[in-house]
Amino acid sequence: MPRTIVAADVIVTSPSRNYVTLKITTSDGVVGWGDATVNGRELSVASYLKDHLAPALLGRDADRIEDTWNYFYKGAYWRRGPITMAAIGAIDMALWDIKGKALGVPVYQLLGGAVRDKILTYTHATGWDLPELLDSVDERRGEGFRAVRAQAGVPGLDKVYGVTNGTASYEPAGRGTGPVEEGWDTASYLRHIPDILAGVRDHVGPELKLLHDAHHRLNPTEAIRLAKALEPVDLFWLEDVIPVENQQLLREVRRQTSIPLAIGEVFNTVWDCQQLITERSLDFIRTAIVHAGGISHVRKILALAEVYQVKGAPHGPSDVSPLNMSASLHLGLATTNFAIQEFMGYDPLVTEVFQSSYTFDDGYLHPGDEPGLGVTFDEKAAAQFPYKQAYLPIARDLDGTMRDW
Ligand code: GCO
Ligand code: MG
């Protein structure tokens, strides 16, 4: 008897920030959960799922994960893009969760079993100036992290990507009726950041893995200058140096520096990654499970990457839910070319709604051995936190011109 899908419900909740969660229920009473969050565009994915995909899910065989993926991908004339792919990603995650629960095994076992004992993770350190940043890095080291992304303020600006003013933890999206405006000054950033990162390296010594995110702000010439200036710092990677709508531009940056390059957190399909991987213009591919169609599709991206000695290093900010985090860890445990998982951590309210079985120990994560993805979604707790409008910031140059955020 096939296990058919009898309900597909979408829940939007805001325990400190917005999350979109898909709940799929089967005829034999198995419940699977998937993350469908797209930061700042939450209600669009919720509607796409509720209004268009959920009705077509009813009556389908829950065990046919790959076929269901293709049904929604190939079966949609208007395909790709973050909203569509996050909706398919949530369905895919929920179906893997169901299969694991129905068979009584963690998802990583279904993916071929563990290829490593634990997954290296990196977190964020942020400080307006070097002393503040060093305090933040030390705090992260104190928590056990072995890899830290370091972001600092830029002289002449008062709000910058990745940096908090004061002690609050960094959260990119701001609640409110419109985006916060940040400033940007490439010349000041390029003058300042090499010394800051060199200061961090001096302070921590050679062991700690250091990362930095340029968040799509540079052109290829500026990116090469930055990379060359940062070579003595021995970065684990330099992330998103340029916007990559025009992917061939990254090729030149890759050729001019030995710093590993990471990119792709905004990509949604293997076709977005194909050129960069096959030209080997990058070292780490960053697609998140939810934003690139779920476990089934990111597995294919990583399989292509493996052929070109590119490693997986998925996006893991607070704006993907613990369900995505768990899915990423299951895939990571079972994938040889999976290098590291970003783990920004969550507000305590988030962990009231999403109770996860993954564990953090000494700088490494493990998905745990609960059947399925190992995350319980508490619907009652979620109901206490209704959706609140929120936006990612925008950035403008000193003269007011819009720039990539
Ligand atoms: C990262 C990212 C995030 C994104 C955010 C957008 O490397 O973690 O760049 O900080 O900006 O997740 O929603
Ligand atoms: Mg990033």
CATH number at residue 38: 3.30.390.10
pLDDT in tens, 358-376: 999 999 999 999 999 999 9
| Confidence grade of residue 167 (pLDDT, cut at 50, 70, 90) | low
* CB within 8 Å of 274: residues ≥ 6 apart: 304
- 209 with 98, same domain: the answer is no
- 291 with 205, same domain: the answer is yes
Identify the pLDDT of residue 93: 98
- 78 with 125, same domain: the answer is no
- Name the residue at shortest CA distance from atom 13 of ligand 1: 39
What does the pLDDT average to over 24-35? 98
- 75 with 118, same domain: the answer is no
405 CA distance to ligand 2 middle (Å): 11
Residue 400 lies in a domain: no
- 123 with 209, same domain: the answer is yes
Cα–Cα dist 385/105, whole Å: 32
- 114 with 149, same domain: the answer is yes
The residues whose Cβ lies within 5 A of ligand 2, an ion, are: 213
Average pLDDT across the chain, whole number? 97
- Smallest CA-to-CA distance from 282 within 251, 257, 304 is with 251
Residue 291 lies in a domain: yes
- 46 with 165, same domain: the answer is no
- Name the residue at shortest CA distance from atom 11 of ligand 1: 172
Residue 155 to residues 159, 184, 185, 193, Cα–Cα distance (Å): 10, 10, 9, 10
Residue 385 lies in a domain: no
pLDDT in tens, 393-402: 999 999 999 9
| Confidence grade of residue 62 (pLDDT, cut at 50, 70, 90) | very high
Residue 387 lies in a domain: no
| Confidence grade of residue 214 (pLDDT, cut at 50, 70, 90) | very high
Q: Is 161 a catalytic residue?
A: yes
pLDDT in tens, 244-286: 999 999 999 999 999 999 999 999 999 999 999 999 999 999 9
Q: Is 215 a catalytic residue?
A: yes
Residue 392 lies in a domain: no
Q: Which of 19, 73, 161, 189 is catalytic?
A: 161
- Name the residue at shortest CA distance from atom 8 of ligand 1: 317
Residue 162 domain boundaries: 110-370
Phi/psi region, residue 42 (left: phi>0; alpha: psi -120 to 50; beta: rest), is alpha
Residue 272 lies in a domain: yes
- In this structure, is the dihedral angle defined by the CA atoms of residues 148, 37, 350 and 340, taken in order, positive or negative? negative
Instruction: Kindly state the tokens that stand for 139.
Output: 């705090």
Residue 380 lies in a domain: no
Identify the pLDDT of residue 175: 87
Question: Among 81, 105, 129, where does a domain finish?
Answer: 105
* Residue 125 scores a pLDDT above 90: yes
- 156 with 123, same domain: the answer is yes
Cα–Cα dist 393/395, whole Å: 7
- Smallest CA-to-CA distance from 190 within 163, 166, 156 is with 156
Cα–Cα dist 214/226, whole Å: 10
Q: What percent of the chain has pLDDT over 70?
A: 99
CB 144 within 8 A of CB 362: yes
Residue 399 lies in a domain: no
In ligand 1, which atom is closest to the CA atom of 316? 8
pLDDT in tens, 291-327: 999 999 999 999 999 999 999 999 999 999 999 999 9
Domain at 321, CATH number: 3.20.20.120
Question: Among 77, 105, 133, where does a domain finish?
Answer: 105
Identify the pLDDT of residue 25: 98
Q: Which of 124, 215, 291, 315 is catalytic?
A: 215
Q: How many domains does the chain have?
A: 2
- 91 with 135, same domain: the answer is no
CB 191 within 8 A of CB 153: no
Question: Among 84, 105, 126, where does a domain finish?
Answer: 105
3-state secondary structure of 129: coil
- 119 with 190, same domain: the answer is yes
- 67 with 138, same domain: the answer is no
Residue whose pair of structure tokens reads 């050129």 in the numeric block:
275
Q: What percent of the chain has pLDDT over 90?
A: 95
User: Relative to the alpha carbon of 172, which ligand is closest?
Assistant: 1
In ligand 1, which atom is closest to the CA atom of 318? 12
Q: Are strands 237-239 and 261-263 parallel, antiparallel or unpaired?
A: parallel
- 164 with 58, same domain: the answer is no
